[in-house]
């Protein structure tokens, strides 16, 4: 009897499975609701009438309205809704409902019945038509819309992922730099350090004749265009622009790379490469370069109560008080040996001399203390999971309150920052990587690892002789990074030449 019962159960199971329709929906059907990410995926180039069968059993979406037609800058008739229904992905889609679209405002929560509607593309924009207002139920109003920071590079690489959703492009400026009379109307090129994108403003928009800003956050919606290759970004209203600055601050010196771990012993062979944005005579305009090493054995321990000026084995300072560096040229600071990738070590020969480079300050840091602070050491940089970093300062006085003109960190381990009170840590500058004010919330965050200041380089494999090259482009006429710095771990040989670290993907200053 037991065998007969088991066989009968198997036959029933097979019959049930064979009667089920196949579905490729990875989330399966949990309710009558379907995520926008799945609706967008249904479109394969031709119009589709939406049914529960092709919507994997679903028939409705629930989302938040992000469109605002009050300033007349969005495509007419489009109600734009986004959700985060599945897998945590925010996705948006447009509904062509005509003049009724203006009756909905950002933060309205809506449920929309999709049965019988048509998924199509009009002028490049994926949208749903044949939706009447009786298919739309407004559940509530005034809901907070989650903010999605998206770079121009992400938008350009996958515009379909960001079309019809509310995004914010942060720390963006115009290329070319706007003149005092320039206004929003028309197409403008917006750059956020990751790429260029078209900011489109209708001539009839309420803010069309507002003047352009030097640096701002732009909250808006991406739309594909008819040619399908040049998406455009549109803000909805003048309040979608949060001005960050009306003043251009150009760092006179930029960190462009460093050798933190040569092939063989590090003592007296580490160095930092920097590039100028203007002519500098260090005798009349002194600077200083500070390296921090937060390895577990570095002392004093605890949080850096004097910031970059903590000294000991934690920070080491080089004063730059002699020599010159013409604008747009590299110069170097570091050990006295001036070799590209370390000296004789065991059977290893000495590497190429780069003494012919422009060395502004070099001395044997294994036998000599730093200029003002820093204990003689066998290694300026940490080679572990704890943070190392380099900062450049105008002048030679560096203490807890001194702000650098440029800074970069490797890794984030160690006792680096505490909110206190009082707050203690390593101060940062406004750079392509760091922000003294949070670019979205505008909260103060002047220290590394505070708020959004969490970006860092990664350690390359130890003891192989990687030069940590920082590529990127700084545009002097725009006063900003048009291509943010990126890390290239350039593996050097003992025979490598100076040109390898000054021309292969190195930082460029565009005058």
User: Are residues 383 and 311 part of one domain?
Assistant: yes
Query: CA–CA separation, 341 vs 130, rounded Å?
Result: 68
User: Are residues 334 and 367 part of one domain?
Assistant: yes
- Tell me if 170 is assigned to some domain: yes
Which CATH number covers residue 133? Answer: 2.40.50
- Tell me if 2 is assigned to some domain: no
Cβ-contact 296, 387 below 8 angstroms: no
- Tell me if 362 is assigned to some domain: yes
At residue 282, the pLDDT reads: 98
Question: Does 481 have pLDDT greater than 90?
Answer: yes
Query: CA–CA separation, 163 vs 232, rounded Å?
Result: 9
Query: CA–CA separation, 187 vs 189, rounded Å?
Result: 7
Question: Does 23 have pLDDT greater than 50?
Answer: no
User: Are residues 352 and 289 part of one domain?
Assistant: yes
Question: Does 151 have pLDDT greater than 90?
Answer: yes
At residue 246, the pLDDT reads: 64
Give which of 318, 319, 340 is closest to 270, Cα–Cα: 340
User: Are residues 315 and 459 part of one domain?
Assistant: yes
User: Are residues 191 and 256 part of one domain?
Assistant: no
Digit-coded pLDDT (tens) for 293-320: 999 889 999 999 999 999 999 999 999 9
Q: What is the DSSP string of 413-449?
A: BSS--B--SSPBS-B--SSSS--SB-TTT--B--BTT
Which CATH number covers residue 234? Answer: 2.40.50.140
Domain final residue, candidates 81, 107, 140? 140
pLDDT above 90 covers a percentage of the chain that reads 84
Q: Length of the chain in residues, anyone?
A: 511
- Tell me if 444 is assigned to some domain: yes
Q: In the chain, how many domains are there?
A: 3
- Tell me if 358 is assigned to some domain: yes
Digit-coded pLDDT (tens) for 355-407: 999 999 999 999 999 999 999 999 999 987 899 999 999 999 999 999 999 99
Q: Which residues contact 134 (CB under 8 A, 6 or more apart)?
A: none
At residue 33, the pLDDT reads: 94
Tokens of 130: 């044949």
Which CATH number covers residue 392? Answer: 2.60.40.1260
User: Are residues 217 and 359 part of one domain?
Assistant: no
Range 486-502 average pLDDT: 96
At residue 7, the pLDDT reads: 41
Write down the mean pLDDT value for the chain: 92
User: Are residues 238 and 123 part of one domain?
Assistant: no
User: Are residues 324 and 427 part of one domain?
Assistant: yes
CA angle 258, 496, 277 (to 5 degrees): 40
Range of the domain at 387: 248-511
Question: Does 11 have pLDDT greater than 50?
Answer: no
At residue 347, the pLDDT reads: 84
Q: Which pTM does this prediction carry?
A: 0.83
Q: Which residues contact 53 (CB under 8 A, 6 or more apart)?
A: 21
**C-alpha count within 13 angstroms, C-beta hemisphere, residue 458:** 7
Range 163-189 average pLDDT: 94
User: Are residues 74 and 217 part of one domain?
Assistant: no
Range 188-200 average pLDDT: 95
Q: How confident is the model at residue 30 (pLDDT cuts 50, 70, 90)?
A: low
At residue 63, the pLDDT reads: 97
Q: How confident is the model at residue 410 (pLDDT cuts 50, 70, 90)?
A: very high
Range 100-115 average pLDDT: 98
Question: Does 29 have pLDDT greater than 60?
Answer: no
Question: Does 221 have pLDDT greater than 90?
Answer: yes
Q: How confident is the model at residue 10 (pLDDT cuts 50, 70, 90)?
A: very low
Q: Which residue has the higher pLDDT, 19 or 413?
A: 413
Query: CA–CA separation, 264 vs 507, rounded Å?
Result: 27
Query: CA–CA separation, 282 vs 134, rounded Å?
Result: 73
Which of 21-35, 242-256, 297-311 has the least mean pLDDT?
A: 21-35
Domain final residue, candidates 197, 217, 245? 245
DSSP 353: B
- Tell me if 212 is assigned to some domain: yes
Question: Does 3 have pLDDT greater than 80?
Answer: no
Distances (CA, A) of 107 to 50, 66, 82: 26, 7, 10
At residue 69, the pLDDT reads: 98
How many C-beta neighbours within 10 Å does residue 119 have?
23
Domain final residue, candidates 88, 120, 140? 140
């Amino acid at each position: 009897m037991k065998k007969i019962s088991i066989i009968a159960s198997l036959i029933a199971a097979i019959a049930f499975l064979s009667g089920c329709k196949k579905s490729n929906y990875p989330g399966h059907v949990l309710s009558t609701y379907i995520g926008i990410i799945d609706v967008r995926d249904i479109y394969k180039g031709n119009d589709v009438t939406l049914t529960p069968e092709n919507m994997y059993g679903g028939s409705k979406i629930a989302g938040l309205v992000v469109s605002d037609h009050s300033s007349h800058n969005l495509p007419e008739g489009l109600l734009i809704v986004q959700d985060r229904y599945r897998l945590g992905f925010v996705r948006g889609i447009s509904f062509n409902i005509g003049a009724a679209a203006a009756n909905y405002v950002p933060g309205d929560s809506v449920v929309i019945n999709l049965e019988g509607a048509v998924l199509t593309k009009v002028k490049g924009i994926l949208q749903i038509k044949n939706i009447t207002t009786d298919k739309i139920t407004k559940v509530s109003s005034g809901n907070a819309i989650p903010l999605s920071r998206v770079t121009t590079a992400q938008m350009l690489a996958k515009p379909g992922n960001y079309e019809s959703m509310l995004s914010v492009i942060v720390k963006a400026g115009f290329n070319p730099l706007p003149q005092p009379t320039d206004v929003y109307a028309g197409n403008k090129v917006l750059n956020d350090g990751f790429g260029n994108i078209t900011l489109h403003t209708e001539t009839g928009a309420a803010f069309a004749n507002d003047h352009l800003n030097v640096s701002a956050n732009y909250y808006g919606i991406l739309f594909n265009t008819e040619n399908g290759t040049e998406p455009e970004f549109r803000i909805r209203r003048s309040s979608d622009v949060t001005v960050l600055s009306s003043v251009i601050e150009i760092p006179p010196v930029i960190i462009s790379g460093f050798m933190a771990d040569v092939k063989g012993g590090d003592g007296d062979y580490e160095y930092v490469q920097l590039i100028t944005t203007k002519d500098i005579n260090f005798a009349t305009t002194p600077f200083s370069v500070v390296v921090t090493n937060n390895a577990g054995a570095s002392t004093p321990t605890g949080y850096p109560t004097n910031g970059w000026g903590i000294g000991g084995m934690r920070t080491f300072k080089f004063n730059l008080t002699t020599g010159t560096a013409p604008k747009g040229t590299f110069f170097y600071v570091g050990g006295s040996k001036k070799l590209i990738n370390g000296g004789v070590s065991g059977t290893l020969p000495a590497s190429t001399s780069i003494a012919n480079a422009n060395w502004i300050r070099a001395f044997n840091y294994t036998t000599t203390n730093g200029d003002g602070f820093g204990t003689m050491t066998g290694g300026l940089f940490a080679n572990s999971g704890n943070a190392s970093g380099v900062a450049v300062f105008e002048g030679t006085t560096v203490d807890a309150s001194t702000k650098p003109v440029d800074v970069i960190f490797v890794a984030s381990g160690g006792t680096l920052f505490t909110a206190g009170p009082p707050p203690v840590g390593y101060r940062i500058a406004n750079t392509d990587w760091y922000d003294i004010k949070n670019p979205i919330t505008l909260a103060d965050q002047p220290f590394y690892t505070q708020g959004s200041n969490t970006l860092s380089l990664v350690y390359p494999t130890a003891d192989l002789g990687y030069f940590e090259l920082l590529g990127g482009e700084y545009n002097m006429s725009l006063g900003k990074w048009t291509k943010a710095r990126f890390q290239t771990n350039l593996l050097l040989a003992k025979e490598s030449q100076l040109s390898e670290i000054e021309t292969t993907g190195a930082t460029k200053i565009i005058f």
